[in-house]
Amino acid sequence: MKKLNSQLDRIQSSGKPGFMMHMVAGYPDLKRSEKIATQILESGAALLEVQIPFSDPVADGPVIARANELALKNGVTVEGSLLVIERIAASTEKPILIMTYFNIIQNYGVEQFCKRAAEIGVQGLIVPDYPYDEEQDNSLIKYSHENDLALIQVIASTSRADRINEIVKHASGFIYCMARTGITGRKTDINLQTIKYLESVRASSDLPMAVGFGLSERSQVQELKNYAQIMVVGSALIKEYADIPIDKGLQQIKKFMIGLIDV
């Protein structure tokens, strides 16, 4: 987690938001997803969130769900995803995080998954459906801590203050705030309710805050940058390289990120 904490310190010291970009391992295939990761990192991402494809990605909208579906259809496995993530992590000094659903971790073995993630250079895990109330039976927080992995807590915009206080007790690295309810992809309108929600999370924790779900435009970043240190972008990025030749897709990634990050 040292690499992650150092990067978070740099982001906070810079006074500008850092960007965590989201991609799906094995989409459009394993080889091209490595090239996509490289381009994302070279185009200015501060962190990279790599999703292990899953058949029932409940938090994901149609763009990311389709990327999951196509990766699985192409035969991408958990182990194949981890091998790609290992190569990506070895190629950069920037923090790589795994996003996945708890079913995958549970089937792999919680302790074994955390050990494997640490061995391949991953800095943290994002598991949006993890029932931390059932930690005694599952031990994901325990094994993440033992393997020096940040376990990023995801907080819904509808969470009550007491629930937020309880969730942040288990947080490490940073806190991931959903800018709205529902699934990823649909554009989020930033309003007073959004700001009040982010302020309530800030009042509960000193950890850096990330905000995602529906971010795609520089104007949204401008509205949010005083309330969160990390902007998370997934669906809008994947749209840039979906269904086009890889060379053109890499160019589109660079163009999109330059327009988004230059704030």
Which residues are tagged catalytic?
49, 60
d(CA 48, CA 58): 21
DSSP conformation class of 211: E
Question: Over the range 63-96, which residues count as b (16 or more CB within 10 Å of their CB) and which as e?
Answer: bbbbbbbbbbeeebebebbbebbbebbeebebbb
d(CA 28, CA 71): 6
Task: Specify whether the CB–CB gap between 24 and 55 falls below 8 A.
Answer: no
Nearest to 253 by CA among 96, 67, 23, 3: 23
Residue 219: CB atoms within 10 A of its CB come to 10
CA angle 54-183-161, nearest 5°? 115
Does the CA dihedral 151-156-157-159 come out positive or negative?
negative
Does the CA dihedral 234-40-241-52 come out positive or negative?
negative
Between the alpha carbon of residue 82 and those of residues 86, 89, 111, 117, the distances in Å are 6, 10, 15, 8
Backbone angles phi, psi at 226, to 5 degrees: -85, -5
